[in-house]
Amino acid sequence: MQHSNIVGGSTAKRVINCPGSVALVQKMPPQPSNKYADEGTLLHNVIADIVMTDNPPEHYLGTKYEDQVLTQELIDNKLKVAMAALDEIDPTKEMEIEAETRVGFGDLLPGVFGSTDLIGRIGNRAIVLDWKFGDGVAVEVEENPQLMFYAAASMRTEAAKWAFDGVDEIECVIVQPPQVKRWVTTPKRIAEFELQLVQAVKLAQQPDAELKAGDHCRWCAAKPICPQMTGAVDRALKTSIESLDAPLISAYLKNADMLEQWIADLRALALQMLDSGAKLPDYKLVAKRAIRQWTDEDKAKVALFAFGLTESEVMETSIISPAKAEKALKKRKQALPDDLVVAVSSGNTIASESDPRPAVIQIGKQLTAALSKLQ
């Protein structure tokens, strides 16, 4: 699913409210993916194929995207619930449907495009549907900028405008299992939104485009470098607690989620920079606490049985951890042999230069960088 780096469905609310964020976001490095995003992509890919082929969800069992695998649990809890929602919207199976359509604004907004999850039409009603497979923040459908973006772009796209030509109503639908949220609007409202979007994009192109903090900042990649955000943090740090009154504390609490998310994104950006070999003054990359694991599970099981531990003591769903084995052996006044275990760090983290742990030596990345210069 590709989206414009100017504004897309998922960023329309932010750009309309904070045009200056466009230039800031373009300065940021690409955001790394994660298992939640990859799982969402997997589910989107599968359900797009289901609605266009009528294959049963079980047909896709075991399908992979990156490290994520489609399991029966995901089929039961996500895909089947989502398909039931589609049956609720189109009980008589008369809706014309198209999945994963790239839509844009043509010459009106060059370079602005997005990808719809599903567009359809029943009689004089066009339908714009978005699948939300995450378990996090509940998404509201009424006046949803993402769906209005897709509707407006679809009306200007040859491959999609068949669903909108001559309609009286446009229904926006969010399927976020187990919930289905529906909102019916008009082509006139979508035209008003489009005008608002065009104005925001033009403002974003100005060197002094306005930056404005708000709930639209939640998913903005530029929070760590945004003057609005850093200013808010600085003020919070400098304000003496003695001078705060109840109304001001209440006002700060309303911004707590935004500030906490900014801090989390700042740490993630710093870790990404250090992990790629960049230098941050006063900080370094260190290995996380090492966790012991078996050098050879089969060899470990033989050794533990030889020490007199029983099957129920040694095996859970797999062999017990070295820590549990050590505890069990201590009851028998026996020691766990050193050659059965090795301590492996679960990854890297950021620490100040004063931290006693040694900095991580990134020989592989340094060697790769050096070799690339020889090519």
Angle, vertex CA 105, rays to CA 102 and CA 107, nearest 5: 130
Q: Print burial letters for 118-137: b (CB count within 10 Å at least 16), e (below 16).
A: bbbbbeeebbbbbbbbeeee
Which amino acid does the sequence have at 105?
A: F
Instruction: Give the angle 118-122-127 at the CA atoms, nearest 5°.
Output: 35
Would you state the pLDDT for residue 362?
A: 61
Give the pLDDT of residue 311.
Answer: 84
User: Beta strands of the chain (E only): which ranges?
Assistant: 64-65, 68-69, 96-104, 113-122, 125-131, 169-176, 179-185, 283-287, 290-294, 341-345, 348-352
Q: pLDDT (tens digit, 9 = 90+) per residue, 122-146? A: 999 999 999 999 877 889 999 999 9
Whole-number Å distance between alpha carbons of 157 and 345: 51
The answer to whether the CB of 295 falls within 8 A of the CB of 355 is: no
Percent of the chain whose pLDDT exceeds 70: 90
For the cut 80, the answer to whether the pLDDT of residue 327 exceeds it is yes
The class (CATH top level) of 9-204 is alpha beta
How many contiguous H segments (helices) and E segments (strands) does the chain have? 13, 11
**Per-residue confidence (pLDDT) for residue 286, from 0 to 100:** 83
Instruction: Tell which wins on pLDDT, 345 or 269.
Output: 269
Average pLDDT over residues 179-189: 95
Angle at CA of residue 70, ends 69 and 72, nearest 5° = 130
Contact criterion met (CB below 8 Å) for 173 and 128: yes
Provide long-range contacts, Cβ within 8 A and 24+ apart, for 21-24: 21/204, 21/211, 21/220, 21/222, 21/226, 22/201, 22/204, 22/209, 23/204, 23/209, 24/211, 24/222, 24/225, 24/226
**Once rounded to an integer, what is the mean pLDDT over residues 225-249?**
73
Q: Are 50 and 82 in contact (CB under 8 A)?
A: no
Find the mean pLDDT for residues 55-59. 92
Query: Does the pLDDT of residue 71 top 50, yes or no?
Result: yes
**Statement: residue 57 has pLDDT above 80:** yes
Instruction: Give the residue-averaged pLDDT of 275-294.
Output: 84
Confidence band of 45 (pLDDT split at 50, 70, 90): very high
Lowest mean pLDDT among 96-100, 116-120, 249-253, 293-297: 249-253
Output the pLDDT for position 360. Answer: 74
Domain ranges within the chain, ordered by starting residue: 9-204, 223-271
pLDDT over 70 at 58, yes or no? yes
Least reliable range by pLDDT among 40-54, 59-73, 135-149, 257-271: 257-271
